[in-house]
A and B are shown apart, each in its own frame.
Chain A
Amino acid sequence: MKIKELNEILNFELLTTCPDSEIVTAYTSDLLSDVMGNAPDDSVLITIQAHKNTIAVASLAGINAVILCNNRKAPEDMLPAAEKEEIAVLSTGLNQFDTSIAVGRALELCK
């Protein structure tokens, strides 16, 4: 599913332009070294780690989009870094668990 289609279902706030990349699954974690080692390719990362280094890790791990939960604010330098790496950044007031359920349902990975 394209990021754009995914967010038509989720309706989260899109903080960057929307790259045309695919999302096939998701990974939920707030420990970036864990994300680096275990996140699958073409995934969306569900996290509260709102800073530039999240983008660096995402780009290395093959993550195409990052959802910032609990209304965590993206610092100034995070979004340009994301644009450069063509990674979408979205924001939601939901917590990581509820976001995971919403994404799982949207991707039809769970009921």
Chain B
Amino acid sequence: MGRGLDSAAITDHNSALNCRAFAACCRKLGILPIFGIEVTSIEEAHVLCLFENVEQAETLGGIIYEKLPDIPNIPEKFGDQVYVDEEENILGEVDKYLVSAADISLDELLLIVRELNGLFIPAHIDKPVFSIPSQLGFLPEMDYDALETTVIPCPVQTGDWTLIQNSDAHYLEDIGKRYTIYDTKSVSFPGIRTAIHTKNI
């Protein structure tokens, strides 16, 4: 809020379990919450899957959890994977290692996100690791809603796709460091979707 944001998205790696706390915190501050997951596909590429409702994000979260390999997280080595309530009380810990790749291809993931009426946005496509171009060597022709880049101009060939920028904040102080201004009549998920699709950004 202090950063002047009207909306923010939560996109934990391969999990939607902090979305409910995020919703409550955003509600208090009058910010529009967007519920998402940064999914790691079988190609080990990161994709932002964004939704209007917590339930949609949690549905995808459940599917992704099932498709993660049975590799346990070792908190001492990899850090905690807790999920919390709005008061930061720990509700639980995810047992599977969330940095793993889910057994789901980009094409399969796109179908599921479309069924859930979400946005499918390849993450940080200019980065040398865990981006679709870094993993595949190219950007396949797919029905992306937009592409996320950390720099503009983007060094990757992005054709006619809409580019957006996000902070990809892993720490509080990074929130809002990069952002996108959407030209929309209302601060709402459909409004942002329309702005992306009509390139009103």
| A interface, CB within 8 angstroms of B | 31-37, 49-53, 56-57, 60, 75, 77
Given known contacts A51-B105, A75-B105, A37 and B137 CB-to-CB distance under 8 angstroms = yes
Binary contact track B125-162/A, C-beta < 8 Å → 1, others 0: 00000000111111010000000000000000000000
Show 18 residue pairs from A and B whose CB-CB distance is below 8 angstroms, ordered by the A residue: A32-B43, A33-B134, A33-B135, A33-B136, A36-B136, A50-B42, A51-B42, A51-B43, A51-B106, A52-B105, A52-B107, A53-B43, A53-B105, A53-B136, A57-B137, A75-B105, A75-B107, A77-B107
Which residues of the partner chain B approach A36 to less than 8 Å between Cβ atoms?
A: 136-138
- Taken together as a complex, chains A and B put the C-alpha atoms of A34 and B138 apart, in Å, by 11
Q: Is the interface of A mostly helix, strand, loop or mixed?
A: helix
- Of chain B, the residue at the smallest CB distance from A32 is B136
Instruction: Report chain B residues within 8 Å CB of A33.
Output: 133-137
- A53 B140 Cβ-Cβ under 8 A: yes
* B residues in contact (CB < 8 Å) with A: 42-43, 105-108, 133-138, 140
Q: Across the interface, which residues of B come within 8 angstroms of A53, CB to CB?
A: 43, 105-106, 136, 140
Do residues B42 and A57 form an inter-chain contact, with CB atoms below 8 A? Answer: no
